[in-house]
Amino acid sequence: MRLAIPPALFMPVWSSAAVAAGVHDAQAPTGQAIVHVAMLGIDVPVVSAILAVLGVVLARPIAPKGPVPLNVWQTACVTALTALLLLAWVVERRPGILFTFVMAIGLSFSILSVLEVIGEQARAFFGRVAAVFTIKGGSDV
């Protein structure tokens, strides 16, 4: 049995939490340990990074299913993609701890819809590109 929170219940609660959590300036000190990853040349706020990944991992099992059920491999890929996206955001923007966790949960709930929209736009784009290069009946020889 899979527990899923309906979007009609989730959105008002999540939106309120996101507004209440606020966001900090990226240059302001966050009061948390920063680890410098020399190989990549980036500074990572440790607690925010852990909460971003934890929020994704804990929210994915209770997020509503997409229109097409995902197999284990696809679920792992969506979870990894979401975690990487959030980690990049944490490193770039340095949000507060609570805001990071709230955003991780929210993105976990909406990522399938976001990926679906991106996929539809990519299909439409490549369809238009293919149409430009398709030879329309007859020959010019």
Helix (H), strand (E), coil (C) string for 81-110:
HHHHHHHHHHHHHCCCHHHHHHHHHHHHHH
What percent of the chain has pLDDT above 70?
Answer: 70
The CB density around residue 60, as the number of other CB atoms within 10 Å, is 20
Whether the predicted model's global pTM rises above the 0.75 cut: no
What pLDDT score was predicted for residue 28?
A: 47
Six-digit token pair at 57? 């991992």
Which residues touch 92 (CB under 8 Å, ≥6 apart)?
26
Residue in this structure with the two tokens 């040349």, named with its chain if needed:
41
Q: Which pLDDT band, with edges at 50, 70 and 90, does 33 fall under?
A: confident
Q: Which pLDDT band, with edges at 50, 70 and 90, does 135 fall under?
A: confident
Which residues touch 134 (CB under 8 Å, ≥6 apart)?
none
Q: Which pLDDT band, with edges at 50, 70 and 90, does 22 fall under?
A: low
Six-digit token pair at 3? 């527990």
For residues 84 and 49, the answer to whether their CB atoms sit within 8 Å is no
What pLDDT score was predicted for residue 98?
A: 86
